[in-house]
Amino acid sequence: MEMGLSLRRCLVLPLSLAGLLLAPSALQAAAPSPTTTEAAKPAAAPAGVAVSPSAAPTNYPVPDDKPELTLHDSPEDALRAILQRAAKDSGMPPRIVAFGEYHELKGNSGVPSALKRFSTQLLAVLQPDLSDLVLETWVTEGNCGKQETAVVKDVQKTTKRPQTTESELVTLIKQARGLGVQPNILTLTCAEYQGLLDDKGAVDYEKMLKLLGDSLHKKIAQVRLRRAQAGINKIVAVYGGALHNDVFPSDELRPFSFAAATELMFPGQYLEVDLYVPEFIARDASLAKEPWFDGYQKLQKPGKTVVVRRGKSSFILLFPRFKR
């Protein structure tokens, strides 16, 4: 199926390729610990509550006419400010915080990725009030035969993620477990793998993006409901790409975002935080047209972190440029 340019640009999936290539040992790192076996049982959604982005409301929110930009001393300070402002806007602290990275591509070697900075700088800010981390990835075990092999090869050819992504993702999983945070990885059935291939055996990326969005929403809902039923009201964080978490997606990308459906299911609890590395976005002509970009160019300073509030429940955190 032919796709538009803006959709094709989003196919450099942030973590999915790494997940496809992860070793089974990584899945073991993300498995529930024996002490959380009971809590790990899937929780059913309340009667009448849908768990698919397709069930999202028809009246979607729109960003503010004028984005708000603020300058902070560090990424940690910036995230604390985001959480505080989100709580003020909603009248309650966010309980589902979905981080979306701007993808790192090959050729940016030496610049720390958003994934690495999340792991080393931002995770600790969340940790005292964090129960779970949902990751936009899954682990291949080779059980789905030629369909799985075809998907892996096609995604590997289409995407341009550096090899460091896998090791950084495994590190994040292990680090989360070390902090007492439960990692949660998506699982795909062989039938779902088969459904990603078109008649010619190539991956249909629109189907893949839709499947990931739906799977992430279901996983988020299961984890949040499970914790709530156990009397735990801590944050469920999500880490993936700045596509599925979008509060204000374009019409073209709306079917792939879980934000509206998650907000519908958990009113006032959802927060989008996109993570941008300046070196990665420097040559993106589409971002340069965003209403916040000129203000960012004027406000940014060496060593400082910029926060953009696009509207209620939607923020961008722009890291400082890396000092070599």
Percentage of the residues of the chain whose pLDDT score is greater than 90: 59
User: E strands within the chain?
Assistant: 68-72, 96-101, 130-138, 182-186, 235-241, 270-276, 305-311, 314-318
What lies within 8 Å, CB to CB, of 28 at 6+ separation is: none
Q: Are 80 and 128 in contact (CB under 8 A)?
A: no
Alpha-carbon gap, residue 180 to 58, rounded angstroms: 38
Model pLDDT for residues 264-313, shown as the tens digit of each residue: 999 999 999 999 999 999 889 999 999 999 999 999 999 999 999 999 99
Read off φ and ψ for residue 31, nearest 5 degrees.
Answer: -75, 150
pLDDT at 42 over 50: no
**How is residue 20 written in tokens?**
């496809």
Which pLDDT does position 53 carry in this prediction?
58
Read off φ and ψ for residue 86, nearest 5 degrees.
Answer: -60, -40
pTM value is 0.85
User: Binning pLDDT at 50, 70 and 90, where does residue 200 land?
Assistant: confident
Alpha-carbon gap, residue 179 to 163, rounded angstroms: 26
Q: Are 42 and 285 in contact (CB under 8 A)?
A: no
Alpha-carbon gap, residue 10 to 289, rounded angstroms: 17
Point out the least confidently predicted range of 41-55, 86-100, 222-236: 41-55
pLDDT at 74 over 70: yes
**How is residue 256 written in tokens?**
């792939």
Between 10 and 259, where is the model more confident? Answer: 259
pLDDT at 41 over 70: no
Point out the least confidently predicted range of 14-23, 26-35, 155-164, 190-199: 14-23
Between 86 and 324, where is the model more confident? Answer: 86
- 3 state SS of 320: coil
